[in-house]
Structure formats: structure tokens, C-alpha cells
Amino acid sequence: MSELLAWYRYPVPNGTCYYENELKQLDKVIEVFDYCQILLAYISKEGWDFLITHYGYEGLFVLNDKSGWFDCSTVDELIECIKCQYADTP
């Protein structure tokens, strides 16, 4: 079984699990970012590692721009936001 990379609280009781296959889909990454923005989802450290490796910071900047999770106007600002989010991940 592949590793859980992100999780969304609904539908109850188990929520929605996101694995590598899901996070390879652009629309799913935007979906997770949207849910994270309203504090209903979680990205694990392994999830961040996958996203950074798979999309790069520039790709994540584009996806974040579609979601609007982080208020960043440059890739460097996004990197700092991700570092803060990553640091808060247990």
C-alpha cells in the first residue's frame, strides 16, 4: 500500500485520503490546497516532499495561484510559506 500524503476531513467518518496517484493530478493538488486553506485538510511531511519533488517550487507556485492558499506573489515567498507549513507538520 502506498503512503498517505494528504488527508481531508470529509466525508465522515474516515475522510478522504490522498496518495501519490491522486497528487499527480493537478486538480487534486488544487483541491487539497483549497481544503488546507480552510483548515480542513492536512499534508504530511512526506506529502510535501513528494509535491516539491514532483512539481518543483515553480509548479507549486502556479498551483497555489489557482488555489490562493498562500498569499505569495513570488516563488521565493511561496518557498518561505511552505517551509513554515512544513515545520508545523508533526
Domain that residue 47 falls in: 6-87
What is the tally of structural domains in the chain? 1
Domain membership of residue 71 (yes or no) is yes
The pTM assigned to this predicted structure is 0.92
For cell 498551483, the residue is 63
Mean per-residue pLDDT of the chain? 95
**Residue 47 belongs to some domain of the structure:** yes
Of 85, 81, 79, the C-alpha closest to 57 is 79
Query: What pLDDT score was predicted for residue 85?
Result: 87
Residue at 49 is within a domain: yes
For the stretch 37-75, pLDDT in tens is 999 999 999 999 999 999 999 999 999 999 999 999 999
Does some domain include residue 1? no
The whole-number pLDDT of residue 90 equals 59
Q: Cα(77)–Cα(85) distance, rounded to whole angstroms?
A: 12
Q: How far is CA 67 from the centre of its chain?
A: 10
Q: Is 27 domain-assigned?
A: yes
Give helix 45-67 / helix 26-37 axis angle, nearest 10°.
90
| Residue 1 scores a pLDDT above 60 | no
